[in-house]
Amino acid sequence: MTTMNNLGDLHLFYTPDIQPQHKAFILSEEESKHAVRVLRLSVGQQLQLADGNGGYYRAVITDAHPKRTVLEILEVSLAHGKRPYHLHMAIAPTKSIDRVEWFLEKATEVGVDEITPIICDHSERKEVKLERLRKVVAAAMKQSLSAYLPKVNPAIRFDDFIGHDFSARRFIAHCAEGEKEYLGNTLQPEEPAVVLIGPEGDFSVAEIQRATQAGYTGVTLGNTRLRSETAALVACAEVAILNRG
Amino acid sequence: MTTMNNLGDLHLFYTPDIQPQHKAFILSEEESKHAVRVLRLSVGQQLQLADGNGGYYRAVITDAHPKRTVLEILEVSLAHGKRPYHLHMAIAPTKSIDRVEWFLEKATEVGVDEITPIICDHSERKEVKLERLRKVVAAAMKQSLSAYLPKVNPAIRFDDFIGHDFSARRFIAHCAEGEKEYLGNTLQPEEPAVVLIGPEGDFSVAEIQRATQAGYTGVTLGNTRLRSETAALVACAEVAILNRG
């Protein structure tokens, strides 16, 4: 187990099946094709692997097979770049799915651990293509050289979500009248958090009431009117800023 | 001059030519068409106008002409929603212009006053379509119900930009080694700021040196690798969070 530095120039592959004790590893057919056919990597060239759960590996190609590229593992780092907090964002998917995908990409860069699409009273979109969203997150993880893959949960109804007993501080960001705090002023560093972000037409008054009764604190993310996906990203940035060293 | 409330449901039009002393106003041909043909607004219906410089107006339609809609001004508010700071973001345009446009939209929502595209040593994109960028910003201003239109300057070379004597704290965000601060830890509330954000391949070492000599402080926006446009938006969020009440 060593600390790895200066890996920024090596290509990163997402390999959820690798284990810390592995001395060698064979890339999947898709990743092999990408390594050998697209990136044109060859024997002796190095690359990086992330298992999505904090494991980060440096490896060298020993057989540049286009369907089953063989790697020798050179270095392993566990809990690589681990954040000192846990942030679960529950966001009503936007009418245009591009905006949710954009949020997933940016949140993965800035820092998020878990994302749940929630279906609300004012939701125009009632479903999401989970596999598509997970691909966006995996691509963003690789792009940002992170070892952690944010977990994207299936869509769930608002009431089912707030009925869940999370071991975390719970917040609902909304634009309605009433007493609200700033997320970064009430959340403590390292404290796990769940943050609800509503759809284009905001949460309904009834939803805000039910969330409050379920232990959610009303928060505002600023004085301007933010789109759903902007509000969600500002929340991620605010928690990241609160938690940095 | 009165305070205006509960205007969230009225459509907002961007009318840079309106003046506070106007009792009536005629919408441009394009805005008239939008009001009458697209939104189907008619005589007696109200709408809002923003001049992009803090002036915010409530008006009522007195002639729903599809090419020159006539309005009576009911209320005026100046310095509407004025932020207590001035933030100038200088960002190297990304190879894919979508990402810059995305940044412009989000920065307008979160809060930015001036944006200058800068051409750097590692810039793959050397030019931008200014009119297109300004349209994105105007649309985002309307969407976020803001009275201030961020100023989008023409693209300028990095050295020309840092040679300018801004009356503001100056920062360069980069990923190179060296002593760096967090923007929000060194900038004071209400202090005007200029922040440089580099291209996909970051600033060159020579650029960072020249900026430092020109009075720019090196800053980091977090521990993760952020895309250019993500870094730029995180900077806007950090300054907004620093300055809120």
Q: Is B111 on the interface with A (CB under 8 A)?
A: yes
Q: Put residue B39 in one of left, alpha, beta given phi > 0 → left and psi -120 to 50 → alpha.
A: alpha
Q: Is A48 on the interface with B (CB under 8 A)?
A: no
Nearest CA in chain A to B184: A241
Identity of the residue in B106, B227, B244 whose CB atom sits nearest the CB atom of A222? B244
Cα–Cα distance measured from residue B141 to residue B11, given in angstroms and rounded to the nearest whole number: 12
Identity of the residue in B184, B227, B245 whose CB atom sits nearest the CB atom of A241? B184
Contacting residues of A for B223, CB less than 8 Å apart: 81, 244-245
Identity of the residue in B109, B145, B224 whose CB atom sits nearest the CB atom of A111? B224
Contacting residues of A for B240, CB less than 8 Å apart: 222, 234
pLDDT at residue B117 in the model: 97
A224 vs B184: CB contact, 8 Å cut-off?
no
Identity of the residue in A227, A233, A240 whose CB atom sits nearest the CB atom of B222? A240
Q: What is the DSSP letter of B148?
A: B
Closest residue by Cα to residue B90 from B235, B200, B238, B241: B235
A106 vs B224: CB contact, 8 Å cut-off?
no
How far, CA to CA in Å, does B51 sit from each of B75, B122, B191?
14, 37, 25
Q: Is A233 on the interface with B (CB under 8 A)?
A: yes
Amino acid at B108: T
Strand partners, B53: B148
Q: Is B225 on the interface with A (CB under 8 A)?
A: yes
pLDDT at residue A210 in the model: 97
Q: Is B146 on the interface with A (CB under 8 A)?
A: yes
B230 vs A109: CB contact, 8 Å cut-off?
yes
Runs of H (alpha helix) within chain B: 29-33, 97-110, 130-143, 158-162, 183-186, 205-213, 228-243
Nearest CA in chain B to A177: B6
User: Between residues 168 and 197 of chain B, which touch chain A (CB distance below 8 Å)?
Assistant: 182, 184
A183-222 pLDDT, tens digit each: 999 999 999 999 999 998 899 999 999 999 999 999 999 8
pLDDT at residue B101 in the model: 96
A224 vs B143: CB contact, 8 Å cut-off?
no
Whether this model's pTM surpasses 0.90: yes
pLDDT at residue B2 in the model: 32
Phi, psi of B39 (to 5 degrees): -85, -15
For β-strands A193-197 and B12-14, DSSP reports them as unpaired
Interface mutation vs chain A, best among B100, B142, B234, most A CBs within 10 Å? B234
Identify whether the C-beta of residue B212 lies closer than 8 Å to the C-beta of residue B172.
Answer: yes
**Residue range A37-48: average pLDDT?**
96
- Name the minimum distance, in Å, from the CA of A226 to any CA of chain B: 6
**Given pLDDT bands bounded at 50, 70 and 90, which one contains residue A3?**
very low
Q: Where are the domains of chain A?
A: 12-77, 87-243
How far, CA to CA in Å, does A30 sit from each of A9, A38, B46, B178?
21, 11, 57, 39
B106 vs A233: CB contact, 8 Å cut-off?
yes
Identity of the residue in A81, A109, A234 whose CB atom sits nearest the CB atom of B226? A109
Q: Print pLDDT tens along chain B (245 aa).
A: 233 444 557 899 999 999 999 999 999 999 999 999 999 999 999 999 999 999 999 999 999 999 999 999 999 999 999 999 999 999 999 999 999 999 999 999 999 999 999 999 999 988 899 999 999 999 999 999 999 999 999 999 999 999 999 999 999 999 998 889 999 999 999 999 999 999 988 999 999 999 999 999 999 998 788 999 999 999 999 999 999 86
- ipTM of this complex prediction, to 2 decimal places: 0.90
Phi, psi of B94 (to 5 degrees): -75, 160
Amino acid at A209: Q
A226 vs B102: CB contact, 8 Å cut-off?
no
B9 or A18: which leads in pLDDT = A18
**For the domain A12-77, what is the CATH code?**
2.40.240.20
Identity of the residue in A81, A106, A222 whose CB atom sits nearest the CB atom of B223? A81
pLDDT at residue B245 in the model: 64
**Given pLDDT bands bounded at 50, 70 and 90, which one contains residue A231?**
very high
pLDDT at residue A245 in the model: 64
A234 vs B238: CB contact, 8 Å cut-off?
no
- Name the minimum distance, in Å, from the CA of B168 to any CA of chain A: 23
- Which 3-state string (H, E, C) describes chain A? CCCCCCCCCCCEEECCCCCCCCCEEECCHHHHHHHHHHCCCCCCCEEEEECCECCEEEEEEEECCCCCCEEEEEEEECCCCCCCCCEEEEECCCCCHHHHHHHHHHHHHHCCCEEEEEECCCCCCCCCCHHHHHHHHHHHHHHCCCCECCEECCCEEHHHHHCCCCCCEEEEECCCCCCCEEHHHHCCCCCCEEEEECCCCCCCHHHHHHHHHCCCEEEECCCCCCCHHHHHHHHHHHHHHHHCC
Is the pLDDT at A8 greater than 80? The verdict is no
Identity of the residue in A8, A106, A225 whose CB atom sits nearest the CB atom of B230? A106
Q: Is B238 on the interface with A (CB under 8 A)?
A: yes
- Name the minimum distance, in Å, from the CA of B69 to any CA of chain A: 27
Q: Is A226 on the interface with B (CB under 8 A)?
A: yes
How far, CA to CA in Å, does A11 sit from each of A49, A58, A87, B42, B195?
8, 10, 27, 59, 30
Q: Top-level CATH class of A87-243?
A: alpha beta
Is the pLDDT at A118 greater than 90? The verdict is yes
Average pLDDT taken over every residue of chain A: 93
Nearest CA in chain A to B102: A102
